Structure 1
C-alpha cells in the first residue's frame, strides 16, 4: 500500500512540476511577446503610483493583456520598485517587458499636447498649441494666438478637460526683466503676483516646463538660479586678458552683445570690438544703451533715436559715459555671456549693419565710413522700392 501511495505522490509531484514549468513558460512568453496595442498611446505614471495601479491602467488602455503577468515580470526582473513618474509614449505592439522598461527608465516625459507660451519684447506673449501624434512623432500645429486675441475653442476644450497638456514658457534672449514679468503676468495658466522686478540681466533665457497653476515668482527664481549657474561657469572659464574686473561687468557687456546681434557667429567679433574699445579708452557708442536709457527697459522705443537722446547724460548712454553702463540693458543668453568672457581675437573697433541681418566690421575709421556709406545706400534703395 505504501508503495502505491508513494507512486501516486510521485506522479502528482511530476504533474505539478510539469504544470508549474508550463505556467512559467507561458508567463515568459506572455511577458516578452508583442502586446495587443493596435496604435501607440501616451500613458501617465502618476507620482507615487503603485505597480498594481500602473498594471491595471495599462490593461484598461489595451496595452497589456494581463496585469498579473506584468507584475510578476516586474518582480522577476527586479524592476517592481523602479517605477518613474511621468508621461510615456507606448509604441503599438510593445511587449510587457518593453513597456516595463519604458515606465522604469526615467526618460524625459513625452506629452501628446504641448502649450508653449513664447514671450515677446512688447511685454506680451504668444501661445503655441501643438499635438504630437503617437507612434509617428509628427507634430501638428493646432493653434497660435496672443491672449489679447480671441482664445481658440480647441485650447479652451483641452485645458478644461482631462487631456495631458504640458505647459512651457519660452524666454528669448535679449528681453528686459520688465518685458519678461509683463509677459508672465499675461499667462493665464500661471498664478501669483510678482512684487518687484528681478535684477536686470539675471534671468536666463530658455524654455521652462511648468505645471498649470505654477507660481510666477517661483518660475522667476528658477530663471535666476539658472543665470547664476551660467555666469559662474563662464566666469571661471574666462580668457586671461578680458578687460572686465567683475562678474557684474561681464553680465553688462554680455547684455550689450545680445542686443547688438542675433547672428550666432558674430557674437565673438562684436565682443572683440567692445573689448578693443575698452582697452583703448574709447567710448562704446552703442545704440541699444541709448534706447535703454530712454525706455528704462519698459517696452520698445518704436522709432529712431533722436539727436537729443544721443547727447542725454544718463548712466546707460555710452555715447556720453566712459566704460560700461551702470547695469545690464537686457537678459543675455549663455552664448552672449561666453562671448563677453572669451571674445574673438581681432583688431576691429567699429561695426555697422551690412543689410543682410549681420554687420560689417572695420579696424579703421576710414574703412568704417565706407561701410556706413554702403549701409546708407542700402537703406535708401529699400525706401525707394517701398514707395514704388
Structure 2
C-alpha cells in the first residue's frame, strides 16, 4: 500500500515538465528559423555580389551564427545594457539639486519685484539733488527720518550725544592737514567733509580694527583721493595712558555713536576702501570709481542711508523664508534618520534657490532704478548687491558640494521603492 503524502507535488511537477518541454520545442523552432533566415541572407548577399561587381559585402552586419535567446551570449548582452543603465542612474544628479515648481518661481519673482518697488518708491536716493544740474530728484523719506534722530531742531547734536562727543576724542578724528605736523608726503582731498570717509577708523565694520590700532599708536590711518595710504602720528595723542589703551574699544564705540548723527555721518561698511579703486572713466568728467564713491558719500550716501537701503534685501529674506516655511513638507515620524538627513539637505537647497531667484530679481530692479534716475550712482543699492553676492556664493557651494553620501542615500531609496513595487 502506497503511503499517503501530506502534500503531493507529482501533478505540479508533471505540469511544469510539460510546459518546459513545450518552451524548449518552441525555442528550438526559433533557432531553426533564425538559421534559415541567416542562410537566406547569405544567399542574397552572394547573388548581389554576382549581379554587381562593385558590391562590397559587409559581413559584419550579419551574425555568423544565429543568437539563441536562452544562450550565454544573450544574457551577457542584456546584463551589459542593464549595467550601463544602472551606472547612469547611480551617477546622475537630477534630484540632488531640487527643481523649483512654477509656483515657486512665480512667488520668488513677485517677492523680488515687491522689494524692487520698495527700493524705487521708498528708499530712492539719500537726499534731494539736482543731478547733472538738470534732473531734479527727491531723496527717500526713510533716510530723512533717520537723519532726524539724535539732533535738535537746529540740526545740532542733542545734549547726550554732544557730551559723548566731547569725552571721546580720538587720534583718527583729525579733519584737516593742519594736524599733521611736519608731514612731508602730499595729501590729496582730505578736508572736514571727507575725513570720515577717508579715515579707516570711522568705518563701522573695519574701523574696530583700524580705530583701535590708531588709538593705541596715537595716529590716523587714511586713504586720500589719489589712493595713497597714510599712517600719520598725531602729536597730542602720543602720550596715551594705559587707561586709554584698555578702554580703547569703548572709546571707539562712543566716538562712532556720536559721529553717526552728524550732518555728514559715517560711511557705509567698507566704503572707505573704495578710495583704492583708482580706475575707470565714467560720466561727463571721466571719474574713476574712487571719485564716484566719494561723490556718493558727499551726497548723503552714509550709514543711515545704508540702513534704509537694507529694507530691500530684508524684504526678500523675510518674505522668501515665510513662503518656504508655509510650503515645507512635514517629515514622516517613521522615516529613517538617513532619509531625514537627505530631505533636510534637499529642503535647504530649495530655500537657497528661492532666495537666489528673489535676490536676482531685486538686483535687476535696482539696475532699473539707476536707469530711471538718469544713471545717478546714489541710486545704487549697496546692501542688495552684498546680499546677491552672498547668495551667489552659497549657490555655487551647493552646486559643487560633495554629493557621494547623498547619492548613496538616494540610490538606497530607489532600491526600496523598486522592491515595494514588485
Question: Shorter chain as normaliser: what TM range?
Answer: under 0.3
Normalised to the residue count of structure 2, the TM-score between the two structures is: 0.19
Higher strand share: 1
Q: TM-score, normalised by structure 1?
A: 0.20
Judging by fraction of residues, say which structure has more helix. 2
Higher RCO (C-alpha 8 Å, min separation 6)? 2
